[in-house]
Each structure stands twice: as C-alpha cells, then as structure tokens.
Amino acid sequence: MGLQSTRHQSTRKRSDRHAQKPLPSETFRRARPTEQLMSHSSPYPAASEEPPTPILRLRTCLIRSLCEGDAESTAAQANNPRIAKWMRNAFPHPYRVEDAFKWISIATSTSPIHNYAICRPDDNTAIGGIGLKPQDDTRYRTIQIGYWLGEEYWGRGIATEALSAFSEWTFEHFKHVIRLEAEVYEGNDSSTRVLEKAGYAFEARHRKAVEKKGQIMDLSLYCRFRDGY
Ligand SMILES: CC(C)(COP(=O)(O)OP(=O)(O)OC[C@H]1O[C@@H](n2cnc3c(N)ncnc32)[C@H](O)[C@@H]1OP(=O)(O)O)[C@@H](O)C(=O)NCCC(=O)NCCS
C-alpha cells in the first residue's frame, strides 16, 4: 500500500517532467516529400501527397496511417539495435529506407488499416510505430498490440500516451474485440512500465518462449479488457 502511494506520487512527478521536456530539435528535420529525399535513380515511387489525417491527436504525438513520405524518417529512427532487440525478427536490423518502403506498402494495403505511425505533434514527422495483429479462429476477439519509438524521444511519456489512446481507439473501432494483449521480452522494463501505465495487467510468463540472436528469454503477456469484461 505504502509502496503503491509512493509509486503514484513519483509517477506524477515524472509526468510533470515529461510535460516540460522539449522535443529534440537539433536532430530534427521537417518532413519532406520523398522525391526530394531520394536521388533521381531511386527505384521507389515519388511521394508528394500530404500525410494522412491523424486518427488521434494527442498532447505528445499524433497517430496516423503511414505514407511513402515517412520512409526516410521511419528508417532513421528504426535503425537502432536498442529498438530491434525488443522486437520480433520481422523488424529488421539494420533497418534501411528500402525496409521502410516495404513496411509502408504492407501497412497501407490492409483494409481496415492495422498499423500506424507515431508522429511528432508539431510537424507530423514519423518517429515510431504502433499496430495491431488480429488473432483468428476462436481467438478472433483478441488483438495483439505492439509499438516502438525512436530513441531520441524516449522518456517523454509518448509511448504511454500513444498506447493508452490507441487501445481505447481500438475498442471503439473494432467492436468485436474484448481483449488486447502485448508480448514483452524478459528485461524490457520500460515497455513493461508503459503497459502498466496504459492500463494493462500482467497475465502470464511463458518461460524460455523466445530466442533472439541466440539468447533464450521468457515472454510476459500483458492484457487489457474492454470495459464490462
Ligand atoms: C518501450 C518504449 C516504446 C517506451 O517509450 P517511451 O516513450 O520512452 O515510454 P514512456 O516515456 O511513456 O514511459 C517509459 C517508462 O519506463 C520507465 N523506464 C525507462 N527505463 C526503465 C528501466 N530500465 N526500468 C524500469 N523503468 C524504466 C520510465 O521511467 C517511464 O516510466 P515513468 O513515466 O513512470 O517514469 C521505447 O523505449 C521503445 O521503443 N523501446 C524499444 C522497442 C520496444 O521495446 N517496444 C515494445 C516491445 S513490447
């Protein structure tokens, strides 16, 4: 009980800190159409369209569909072993611009869209991703949720706000879904904290369930239910 109140108190202080922390600007570049970023010999189509309208406008970020203009910023943020370490192997490392184009093509070809970009609120630059993996057959009322954020943006409360709002959005837009679940690899304490702050509860630990780069790890399952379930 004492521990819990201390935790709440310190969380509040940390949230204040998040609110004051400015977004990094020195490394930041305004999003530009892909055609300006790619050389003339680029094998990829030019993308001159405006970014899609956000599905969520939050204090720390926007969440919207991906577009080809996101390839360069997505690759720049995603090309980081400290991110890839906690993701499935489908998230490549190194993460090149061509990987981003492939991902954008996959993510924008489903109907409805399940995978979105987390973007800066000031200029819509893609700085991370958040997405859904619907389960099928008898598990169709469950959706798995996953997310990542560029390292220069960590520790500002962005993932917590994005995950909380996107979870609510998912329940609102996928009426059949009653259960959201997330898988976390052993040692990923910041993601565990994000899940707890976003209303997810620890459910199970699958022992030695994953191997990443030769390292066998436990997998923890966190879940959040639709109100009333
Ligand atoms: C996990 C991730 C999305 C978190 O993003 P973020 O925007 O920095 O998260 P937030 O700022 O909202 O919250 C992070 C919390 O973790 C805490 N934290 C950070 N490092 C920690 C550590 N080593 N141990 C415990 N808590 C830690 C922070 O203090 C913060 O909690 P607080 O607000 O109570 O202080 C980001 O680190 C990331 O992309 N990691 C790599 C990919 C990944 O792990 N994806 C999830 C796969 S399940």
Retrieve residue 41's tokens. Answer: 């010999």
pLDDT at 55: 98
Among 106, 179, 114, 111, residue whose Cα is nearest residue 146: 114
Between the CA of 194 and the centroid of ligand 1 the distance, in Å, is: 6
Return the ligand 1 atom nearest residue 188 CA. Answer: 44
pLDDT at 46: 53
Ligand 1 in reach of 86 Cβ (< 6 A): yes
Ligand 1 in reach of 26 Cβ (< 6 A): no
What digits encode the pLDDT tens for the residues 207-228?
999 999 999 999 999 999 999 9
What mean pLDDT is reported for the chain?
A: 86
Where b means 16+ CB within 10 Å and e means fewer, 143-169 reads bbbbbbbbebbeebbbbbbbbbbbbbe
Residue 206 reports pLDDT greater than 70: yes
What digits encode the pLDDT tens for the residues 20-39?
566 776 443 333 333 333 33
pLDDT at 48: 60
Q: Whose C-alpha lies nearest to ligand 1, atom 24?
A: 189
Return the ligand 1 atom nearest residue 87 CA. Answer: 47
pLDDT at 24: 72
Between the CA of 229 and the centroid of ligand 1 the distance, in Å, is: 28
Ligand 1 in reach of 190 Cβ (< 6 A): yes
75 near 99, Cβ under 8 Å? yes
Residue 67 reports pLDDT greater than 80: yes
Which of the four CATH numbers 3.90.650.10, 3.40.50.720, 3.40.630.30, 3.10.290.10 does domain 56-225 have? 3.40.630.30
Please give the model's pTM, rounded to 2 decimal places: 0.86
Residue 44 reports pLDDT greater than 60: no
Distance, in Å, from the CA atom of 66 to the CA atom of 125, rounded to the nearest integer, reads 10
Residue 119 reports pLDDT greater than 60: yes
Distance, in Å, from the CA atom of 12 to the CA atom of 53, rounded to the nearest integer, reads 32
Ligand 1 in reach of 34 Cβ (< 6 A): no
Ligand 1 in reach of 147 Cβ (< 6 A): yes
Tell me if residue 51 falls in helix, strand or coil. Answer: coil
Retrieve residue 113's tokens. Answer: 């869209």
Among 128, 74, 147, residue whose Cα is nearest residue 105: 74
Distances, alpha carbon 49 to alpha carbons 53, 67, 151, in Å: 12, 8, 27
Give the pLDDT band (50/70/90) at residue 175.
very high
